[in-house]
Amino acid sequence: MVCSDANAVAVTDVDGLHSQVQGFIPTGWYPTAARALPDGRVALVSGRGLRSYANPSGPSPMKVPARSHEGIRSDEYVGNIQSGSVAFVDAFSPEQLDAHSKVVMANSPYRDSLLDDVRLPATNPIPSRPGDPSPIEHVVYIVKENRTYDQVLGDMEKGNGDKSLVLLTRSRAESSQLAREFVLLDNFYV
């Protein structure tokens, strides 16, 4: 069973009345399908491949895009530049599945009784279990629709951005103030 937001596949025993998760296998970015092969291997399909890509050639509100009836788009629309991937995992023993599961759990803030020995550091504000206390009281998440980090905050002095891609100077001032006062998510990928 694919766990898209966790970048993992759950190995599940479906023989009984109720299915049981046996462990997890790490995948590429946003898995969309998994298939057990006759030779014991597992094929894993990831919808977004292994990484993100910059798109300095657009789309941009400063340029008129090519009309769709005129052929292939000349800008770097994320749907065109992002590619999926297929990985093949060799047949694994229970011990290897346990090792794979520990990698998945170490990469995720989610915790379950499946792997109780994997814990977040005590300083992490994310509770290990639902209902446990956290110093976080509110989360405000602002999305600039169809804009990349670089287009909005690419010239932030402390960020990991590309200044040449900044487009939105007026609304950027508001976003910059929020980023300076609270947090700058310059390496947050969705």
Q: In the prediction, which pLDDT does 108 show?
A: 81
Does the structure show a pLDDT above 80 at 105? yes
Does the structure show a pLDDT above 70 at 95? yes
Q: In the prediction, which pLDDT does 115 show?
A: 46
Q: What are phi and psi of 171, to 5 degrees?
A: -75, -20
Q: In the prediction, which pLDDT does 93 show?
A: 95
Does the structure show a pLDDT above 80 at 55? no
Percent of the chain with pLDDT over 90: 28
Query: Which letter, b or e, does each residue of 131-164 get, where b requires 16 or more Cβ atoms within 10 Å of its Cβ?
Result: eeeeeeeeeeeeeeeebbbbbbbbbbeebebeee
List, in sequence order, every residue forming a beta bridge with 13; answer none if it has no partner: 20
Q: pLDDT of 109-155, one tens digit each?
A: 665 544 455 554 556 677 777 788 888 888 777 766 677 778 888 88
Instruction: Give 74's pLDDT tier (boundaries 50, 70, 90).
Output: low
Neighbours of 12 (CB within 10 A): 13
Q: In the prediction, which pLDDT does 72 show?
A: 60
- Considering the chain, what is the average pLDDT of its residues? 80
What does DSSP assign to residue 62? T
CA distance 69 to 73: 10
Does the structure show a pLDDT above 50 at 17? yes
Q: Residue 12 belongs to what H/E stretch?
A: strand 8-13
Q: Cα angle vertex 2, ends 125, 43, to 5°?
A: 130
What is the rounded average pLDDT of the residues 72-87? 76
Strand 8-13 to 20-26 pairing: antiparallel
Q: In the prediction, which pLDDT does 26 show?
A: 94
Which tokens belong to 2?
């694919």
What is the rounded average pLDDT of the residues 70-78? 65
Q: Where are the domains of the chain?
A: 2-49+84-115, 138-190
CA distance 101 to 86: 20
Q: Which amino acid is it at 19? A: S
Q: Residue 92 belongs to what H/E stretch?
A: none
Q: In the prediction, which pLDDT does 137 show?
A: 82
Direct distance between the N- and C-terminal alpha carbons of the chain, in angstroms, rounded to an integer: 21
